[in-house]
Amino acid sequence: MSLNRCEQRVFDYLQGHADEKRFWQEKVRAAARARAELSEVAGRLEADLWRYYEERSAVASPFREAVRTEGLRRTSLRNLAELLLRLWTEPPSPRGAGPRRPAP
């Protein structure tokens, strides 16, 4: 999966800040548990990630420097939202798949 510069900046920041990463892991997991449709969950997380980017751009490096040179234009963070869902949640089970029976 390819991330744009803004997405990569957020991802790298989370990887380097354990408290922030834990916060987002729990947020992603809670969102995945609360909603059935993966596309709906990713859309909601994408909006939350953009608000986070805006908030961090006022106080944290490297966001502040990026905004100073690139400006603060709304950029899609959808790929990042989908990546975090894949990394931090259980994959959805196939429809209709019940518990497996042990082989006789």
Domain boundaries, the chain: 5-88
- Say whether pLDDT at 101 is over 60: no
Global pTM?
A: 0.83
3-state secondary structure of 55: helix
pLDDT band at 92 (very low <50, low <70, confident <90, very high): low
What local confidence, expressed as pLDDT, does residue 56 receive? Answer: 96
Q: What angle is formed at CA 5 by the lines to CA 59 and CA 88, rounded to 5 degrees?
A: 85
Do residues 80 and 7 touch, judged by C-beta distance below 8 A?
yes
**Per-residue pLDDT, 95:** 61
Contacts of 63 (CB under 8 A, 6+ apart): 9, 13, 53, 56, 57
- Contacts of 4 by beta carbon, 8 Å cutoff, 6+ apart: 75, 76, 79
